[in-house]
């Protein structure tokens, strides 16, 4: 799976920019109104959410909260106005993440988004918008290709939300160029395995 990372990242980047509206009409409409983000995930996806929090706040200037799926069920903090809920899962069947999404659907969010590799999964079907990570079949549970695909999807999400709320166009171009260069950079690093 480690050596699949460059190809899977290319799929992730292509999937996110398949049309000029980025992640599709529903997602783009949500982006323009977002003033806060709540992310919920478990395991490896939780770690990508923590990195994603830093990136989203950097790109958008809006606050991001991250909770572990099992903890979110007991979270009674009032939701911020114009918040969007993001659930992240490789399989889309993680029980705690699904339970968190179902709770969020009853709360006052602008909408719910699933970042998920399996577009036929329960999580993908139940969220208002599914953003596929295109990581390919999962072999290992702590999958590096799933992790980096989630990271790149979060980075793209941050750039596109930033675009909707006024991210500097020069910064957006620099960020997108950097993201698109990642597969080649990772391939180069993996090619150094013999030397390392």
Q: How far is CA 171 from CA 25, 35, 163, 164, 183, in A?
A: 23, 20, 10, 13, 20
pLDDT values of the chain reduced to their tens digit, one per residue, 196 residues: 888 898 988 988 886 654 434 455 666 677 778 889 999 999 999 999 999 999 888 888 889 999 999 999 888 777 788 899 999 999 999 999 999 999 999 998 999 999 999 999 999 999 998 989 999 887 776 678 999 999 999 998 888 777 777 667 788 888 889 999 999 999 999 999 888 8
Helices (H), 61-118: 69-72, 95-105
pTM: 0.88
């Amino acid at each position: 799976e480690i050596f699949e990372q460059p190809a899977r990242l290319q799929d992730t980047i292509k999937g996110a920019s398949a049309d000029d509206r980025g992640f599709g009409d529903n997602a783009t409409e949500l982006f323009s109104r977002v003033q806060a983000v709540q992310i919920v995930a478990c395991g490896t996806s939780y770690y990508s959410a923590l990195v994603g929090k830093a990136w989203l706040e950097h790109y958008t200037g809006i606050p991001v909260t991250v909770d572990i799926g099992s903890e979110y069920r007991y979270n009674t903090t009032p939701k911020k106005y114009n918040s969007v809920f993001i659930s992240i899962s490789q399989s889309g069947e993680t029980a705690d993440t699904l339970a968190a999404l179902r709770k969020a659907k009853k709360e006052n969010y602008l909408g719910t988004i699933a970042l998920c590799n399996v577009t036929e999964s329960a999580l993908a079907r139940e969220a208002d918008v599914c953003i596929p990570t295109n990581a390919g079949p999962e072999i290992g549970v702590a999958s590096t290709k799933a992790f980096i695909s989630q990271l790149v999807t979060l980075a793209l999400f941050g750039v596109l939300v930033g675009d909707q709320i006024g991210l500097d166009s020069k910064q957006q171009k620099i960020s997108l160029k950097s993201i698109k260069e990642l597969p080649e950079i990772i391939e180069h690093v993996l090619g150094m395995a013999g030397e390392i």
